[in-house]
A and B are shown apart, each in its own frame.
Chain A
Amino acid sequence: MTSWQEDLLAVMDRAQSEQEVFCKIELAARALGFEYCAYGLRVPMPLSNPKTIFLNNYPQAWQERYVQKAYVQVDPTVQHGCRKQTPLVWSDDVFASAREFWEEARSFGLRFGWAQSCIDGGGVRGMLTLARSSEALEPDELAHGEMKMRWLAHIAHLILSRIFTTRQAEEMQPHLTAREIEVLKWTADGKTSADISSLLDVSENTVNFHVKNAVTKLQTTNKTAATVRAAMLGLLG
């Protein structure tokens, strides 16, 4: 029989859907003693409206309530996760600024919990929450099990962020030519069209032609936005 760690590692390279991965995260959470788990992921593209994905097995009524009351804006665990990568154990103090939210979460069985956020080199930020309805999270349990919880948070982030960023890159399908990529690379280095025309030994009109095509393919409105998007999609090497 394989461990929950091996189950997760097995889907690391081949998982296509977030649901498939989340099923493994749920099993891992149960093995660690938590009946509920949630994973929130924030992809920083487009910059003006970052995309957020939220997977969880919370009671359906609480999920609806959370959205209806826009609790994400007051949830202290989310605020902590945006600022720090240190784990957070739920307590009355943590939720002191959101009493109503905390009381309501508890009424749905979300009484004891732990959360940790991760951020990777691409700026994708994620947070794993493990929760349960009974048995407080004591220091002894954390001393023995927190490393496994931290590892689960990191491996979940690694797998889910890879799925989302790969899918996003595929959806964009910019199909830039080698010359368009070259021009964007120089633009990213702060070179003007005139500079690039000298560097590549082509006319400035030709440089602008490539920039314009890249802007269109990347569905942006100017060359700065095109350069940023190409860089964040990993197209500039």
Chain B
Amino acid sequence: MQVSPDGLLRLSIDELLSLPIHHLMSAVDLDLVVPRTAVCGCETTISGYTEWVSASCPVVSIGWDWHISLWTSQRPFVWSRLGQPRSNVMLVYSSGSDTGWQKNLELLSTVVDALPWQEQLSHAVAALLPSH
């Protein structure tokens, strides 16, 4: 695996799925736009970003924004990816050609959605939120 002159790592989707990718760091966005602490029962949102990396050299890095949205009574909330990920990877087809900017992001999104990131973040983010 080598860094291309444009700074991207070119991998097939099978190669990317074969690389163990681990949680590096996450953070919560500060909800400063509308101060809501004084409004009892007011709906709020929790969002943030997260970064995951491989243990390989050079390092594969994928980051994305997330938020927690309300769901049904059976599933009170759900973690969702917000928008498309950011990465230093350009996925290539078996033929060797680039998948292209937009397709690359769409495919990386499917990889992110398959990662067990919700489980990991629920622990990482709980440690970041105030306890009261």
- A residues with a Cβ closer than 8 A to B are 1-3, 5-6, 9, 85-86, 119, 121, 123, 143-144, 147-148, 150-151, 153-155, 158
Cβ–Cβ contact B118 & A9, under 8 A: no
Known: A154-B114, A155-B110. A86 touches B18 (CB 8 A): no
Cβ–Cβ contact A2 & B107, under 8 A: no
Cβ–Cβ contact B94 & A6, under 8 A: yes
- B residues with a Cβ closer than 8 A to A are 12-14, 17-18, 20-21, 72, 75, 78, 80, 93-94, 107, 110-111, 113-116, 118-119
Chain A: CB-nearest residue to B99:
A9
Cβ–Cβ contact A9 & B114, under 8 A: no
Closest beta carbon of chain B to A34's beta carbon, Å: 16
Closest beta carbon of chain A to B104's beta carbon, Å: 12
Closest beta carbon of chain B to A14's beta carbon, Å: 15
Closest beta carbon of chain A to B16's beta carbon, Å: 9
Q: List, in ascending order, chain A residues with CB within 8 A of B119's CB.
A: 86
Closest beta carbon of chain B to A115's beta carbon, Å: 15
CA distance A85 to B78 in the complex (A): 11
- Among A1, A2, A6, A150, contact of B114 (Cβ-Cβ < 8 Å): A150
CA distance A151 to B107 in the complex (A): 11
Cβ–Cβ contact A6 & B18, under 8 A: no
Known: A3-B14, A5-B14. A147 touches B80 (CB 8 A): no
Query: DSSP majority for the A interface?
Result: helix
Known: A3-B12, A86-B116, A123-B72. A151 touches B94 (CB 8 A): no
Q: List, in ascending order, chain B residues with CB within 8 A of A151's CB.
A: 17, 110-111, 114
CA distance A6 to B60 in the complex (A): 21
Known: A6-B93, A6-B94, A151-B17. A85 touches B12 (CB 8 A): no
Cβ–Cβ contact B94 & A144, under 8 A: no
Sample 30 A-B pairs with CB under 8 A, ordered by A number.
Answer: A1-B94, A2-B93, A2-B94, A3-B12, A3-B14, A3-B94, A5-B13, A5-B14, A5-B17, A6-B13, A6-B93, A9-B13, A9-B107, A85-B118, A86-B116, A119-B78, A121-B80, A147-B17, A147-B18, A147-B20, A147-B21, A148-B18, A150-B114, A150-B116, A151-B110, A151-B111, A151-B114, A154-B110, A154-B113, A155-B114
CA distance A9 to B12 in the complex (A): 13
Q: List, in ascending order, chain B residues with CB within 8 A of A144's CB.
A: 18
CA distance A154 to B107 in the complex (A): 12
Q: List, in ascending order, chain B residues with CB within 8 A of A143's CB.
A: 20
The residue among A6, A119, A153 with the most chain B CB atoms within 10 A of its own CB is A6
Cβ–Cβ contact B110 & A147, under 8 A: no
Closest beta carbon of chain B to A71's beta carbon, Å: 23
Chain B: CB-nearest residue to A2:
B94
